[in-house]
Amino acid sequence: MKTIPHICSMIYFLLISMIATAQSDDLLIREARTRSNSAIAARDTTALAAEWTEDFHVISSRNSEVSGKANNRHLFANEFQTKKNLIYIRSTDKVKVNPAWNMASESGQWTGSWQEPDGLVKIGGNYFAKWHKLKGVWKIRAEIFVPLYCTGSVFCDKTPF
């Protein structure tokens, strides 16, 4: 009978440890998202790409898909050159962590804006991100951006494919 309280204590400790790890991982993911937003604001593609896995995949608000860290970094560099005053901000609403598999989900709201010749584009909606903890560091493996509004330019009148 002495082993049952001991087993219960071990299970309790394990559960508390898992909860603490998940809370810590939640904070680490939110901090990485802040770094990602800061890199976009600074137009720093090196810092931005540092938050992605090598096989990072994105589905944009206009349904274009890009795979690979290098390809996505190139895409951002091109956008920074062609879209005047470009800014994207991702605002995290929820992070859920599976510590046993070193994976997590993030969901939230995103906004973007840039100057077009005919006006200021304001676009935004929901986003979803899949995170993977590799060698103790959380990296974004995939992101999907769902547009819910677009205003300010004929850019918004172009229906995505």
The predicted pLDDT at position 49 comes to 98
Tokens of 136: 């103790």
Task: Name 96's bridge partners.
Answer: 105
**Can you give the C-alpha Rg of the chain in angstroms?**
20
Contact assessment for residue 86 and residue 74, using Cβ atoms and an 8 Å cutoff: no
Residue ranges and CATH numbers for the domains of the chain are 3-157 (3.10.450.50)
Q: What is the pLDDT along the chain (161 residues), one digit of tens a residue?
A: 556 665 655 554 444 444 545 569 999 999 999 999 999 999 999 999 999 999 999 999 999 999 999 999 999 999 999 999 999 999 999 999 999 999 999 999 999 999 999 999 999 999 999 999 999 999 999 999 999 999 999 999 988 87
pTM metric for this prediction: 0.84
Burial of 107 (0-12, 13-18, 19+ CB in 10 A): middle
Residue pointed to by tokens 């390809």: 71
